[in-house]
Amino acid sequence: MPHPSEQPNSSDLIRARTTLGDFELTILSDGWYLLDGGAMFGVVPKTLWQKRAPADDDNRILLGLNTVIVRTGRHTIAIETGIGNKLPPKLRDIYAAKEQLPLAFATAQIRPEEIDIVINSHLHFDHSGWNTTQTPDGRIVPTFPNARYFAHRGEVEHGHLQLERDAISYISENYDPLVASGQMTLVDTRPAEITPIVPGISVECFPGHTAQLLAVHIESAGGHACYISDLIPTSAHLDTTWVMGYDLDPVRSIAERHRFYARAIPERWMVLFTHDHQQPCGQISLNEKNKPVLQAAP
């Protein structure tokens, strides 16, 4: 399995730059990490998934952490904020967290102060980690001081329950301080419902991975992109039944993928993948066997 270099170069940090209508999209990376391939592909046998996602000697596959910056002309939006710098030492070791999102911002010449909207698809620590930054003296401060943050109310409530199954996925310092200060707005978007955030940007609830997973729609001048988050984490997960072992409701994930493809394929959406380091975006079409496949971005 080829690993990117330990010392990130600018293409490791900036995974893609493209336009959508009048909007400018930049895909930044908080780094690549390694996760167990079996967990990432649930009940799919390794003999099948390893053809698309080669595993290392410890059965781990390479994943990315993609943050999408959207400049609409009126707003500068950050979708998702990577792993961050607050992991407990044991988890930091397991994930070999790169903590490179601030460097990616600097390399792309985007200042954190410019971000006026942050959207979290859900509040797992690998999606909301840089919402806040731990300073060298141990304080927790907002990484984006001028931003309004948006997340689903149900995610905050679920995180607070600290359930046996997924307590480890929620680090309250990623959201509690922002809710307390009023900087984070909690939405109540119900399944299949769409909530507008700012012109051209809205969120839609696709349950399955978590009960309130939000996808982010980006629409400008007839173009449509969608950050589909952990409903379809990488382009190796396009088959409707190749859902993750992490999903709380995998059967729902399969149904929600059908609902997503029913629009994304005929309307030729640009699909943005949260954990695909190699192919962070592309269009999906059906092959001769009627299976969804990726057409790499032009």
* C-beta separation of 52 from 45 below 8 A: no
Q: Tell the smallest beta-carbon distance from residue 248 to Zn ion (Å).
A: 13
Q: Tell the smallest beta-carbon distance from residue 120 to Zn ion (Å).
A: 11
- Strand-pair partners of 226: 217, 271
* Complex with Zn ion: residue 126 or 239, whichever CB lies closer: 126
Residue nearest to Zn ion (CB): 230
* Complex with Zn ion: residue 30 or 230, whichever CB lies closer: 230
* Complex with Zn ion: residue 20 or 214, whichever CB lies closer: 214
Q: Tell the smallest beta-carbon distance from residue 65 to Zn ion (Å).
A: 8
The site for Zn ion (CB under 5 A) is made up of: 126, 230
* Complex with Zn ion: residue 230 or 276, whichever CB lies closer: 230
Residue 238 tokens, joined:
């396009």
Q: Tell the smallest beta-carbon distance from residue 154 to Zn ion (Å).
A: 17
* Complex with Zn ion: residue 169 or 240, whichever CB lies closer: 169
- Cβ neighbours of residue 142 closer than 8 Å, sequence gap 6 or more: 131, 132, 133, 149, 177, 178, 181, 183
Q: Tell the smallest beta-carbon distance from residue 184 to Zn ion (Å).
A: 19
Q: Tell the smallest beta-carbon distance from residue 72 to Zn ion (Å).
A: 25
* Complex with Zn ion: residue 13 or 63, whichever CB lies closer: 63
Beta-strand runs (E) in the chain = 14-20, 23-29, 33-36, 60-63, 66-71, 76-79, 117-119, 132-134, 140-142, 148-152, 184-187, 194-198, 201-205, 214-220, 223-227, 270-272, 281-286, 292-296
Distance CA 110, CA 114 (A): 7
